[in-house]
Amino acid sequence: MDLNETSEESAFRAEARAWLEANVPTSPLPSFDTEEGFALHRVWEKKLYEGRWSAVSWPVEYGGRGADYIKWLIFEEEYYRAGAPGRVNQNGIFLLGPTIMEVGSEEQKEKFLPSMASSEIVWGQAWSEPNAGSDLAGIRSKATRDGDDWILNGQKIWASRAVWADWCFGIFRTDPTADRHRGLTFILCPLDLPGITVRPIAQLDGDTGFAEIFFDDVRVPVANTLGEENKGWNVAMATAGFERGVSLRSPARFSEAVIRLIHLWRTYADPTDTALSDAVTDVWMQAEGYRLHTYQTVTGMLEGRPIGAEASLNKIFWSEMDVRIHEIALQILGPEAERMEGPFERWVDGFLFSLSGPIYAGTNEIQRNIIADRVLQLPKGM
């Protein structure tokens, strides 16, 4: 164990810091869940790509730096420290990209990865359906083979970024006679094809961060299949495992939020209120604990111990921590916490967004079931 950075890691950190200090927009961009904000975030992603910072852990040939997971964490720390914009193509770069690298064909890698790294193509995700939420294997949207094409029909919902995204990825039922978890296929689909209707859904904060997608005889080439036909569940679970495990919410996001919370506490709170100072200390420990836990996980991955079902622990931990951080901030803000706009709007909006964390990417109740079944080896059942 050596928790000091190597000189190479420190040099990498310094390089990232210098680039970010020179390039991060001086005033925050509008939310990427607005049309204007989405466009500005795409411009920012292109700039990141040109500096080779958009996908640091990817191989150099696809626009990355071949950085290991430790360096990826260091980059994330610098990124949040710099107050840089949210990642509008997160679904692509952190979820789909690694999956394509794992199961995609050479042709697919060349076609999709560089345009993803540069955000020339921004990706939305299309997992859930009106009747397949927590019970994701209940997917009914179909892909029917017709020569070299799939014909897609059905409806997806809660499709993140889909309102302004260029392409989406999702799973479709291709063998209606197979078991629920079989007969599904992972398909990549442009969102501007005939037969596609995207209907924005306003979130709790009023922005349209997700959408419904209706597929009505949409024709896509069979070449857009990712992984094997009828093995889409396995491909999707590889993505979901990585999402829950490490990449979706890197620790730096919370460490930075807690630094802002401590600043808020120092500026506005009554320091003799020990219940409040205990609460602030507690979330500092949570953020620090999540950071340490992630470094331990990532070291294990580098040493050949891949992350398994225990990834679900991470998802519960960070999502509940995020809610707690914002609850405490709103408690400190008092009457200001009632305003959607004003000097503290980031905390109020952040609170609303934090409430989605225990729901998206598999509800925390589903994660608890996964931990009980696969880590604690309790019997299956509801």
Q: Distance (Å, rounded) from C-alpha 172 to C-alpha 145?
A: 12
Interface residue with another protein, options 145, 181, 266, 346 (CB under 8 A): 266
**H-helix or E-strand containing 40?**
helix 35-50
Beta carbon nearer to another protein, 175 or 373? 373
152 CA to centre of own chain? 25
- In the complex, the smallest distance separating the C-beta of residue 365 from another protein, rounded to whole angstroms, is 7
DSSP 222: G
Binding characters for another protein, 270-289, by CB under 8 A (x = yes): ----x--xx-xxx-xxx-xx
Determine whether 336 is an active site residue: no
By CB under 8 A, tell whether 304 contacts another protein: no
Interface residue with another protein, options 204, 299, 338, 346 (CB under 8 A): 299
Q: Distance (Å, rounded) from C-alpha 361 to C-alpha 355?
A: 13
Q: Distance (Å, rounded) from C-alpha 323 to C-alpha 358?
A: 9
Q: Distance (Å, rounded) from C-alpha 186 to C-alpha 172?
A: 7
Binding characters for another protein, 70-89, by CB under 8 A (x = yes): x-------------------
Q: Distance (Å, rounded) from C-alpha 313 to C-alpha 140?
A: 29
Interface residue with another protein, options 15, 120, 310, 336 (CB under 8 A): 310
- State whether residue 311 is helix, strand or coil: helix
By CB under 8 A, tell whether 375 contacts another protein: yes
Q: Distance (Å, rounded) from C-alpha 35 to C-alpha 28?
A: 15
Catalytic residue among 76, 129, 212, 243: 243
Interface residue with another protein, options 106, 107, 192, 303 (CB under 8 A): 303
CB 140 within 8 A of CB 154: yes
Strand pairing category for 167-173 and 184-190 = antiparallel
Interface residue with another protein, options 313, 329, 348, 361 (CB under 8 A): 313
- In the complex, the smallest distance separating the C-beta of residue 330 from another protein, rounded to whole angstroms, is 19
Beta carbon nearer to another protein, 27 or 380? 380
CB 218 within 8 A of CB 196: yes
Residues noted as catalytic: 243
Q: Which residues bind another protein (CB under 8 A)?
A: 1-6, 9, 70, 262, 265-266, 274, 277-278, 280-282, 284-286, 288-290, 292-293, 295-296, 298-300, 303, 310, 313, 316-317, 365, 367-369, 371-373, 375-382
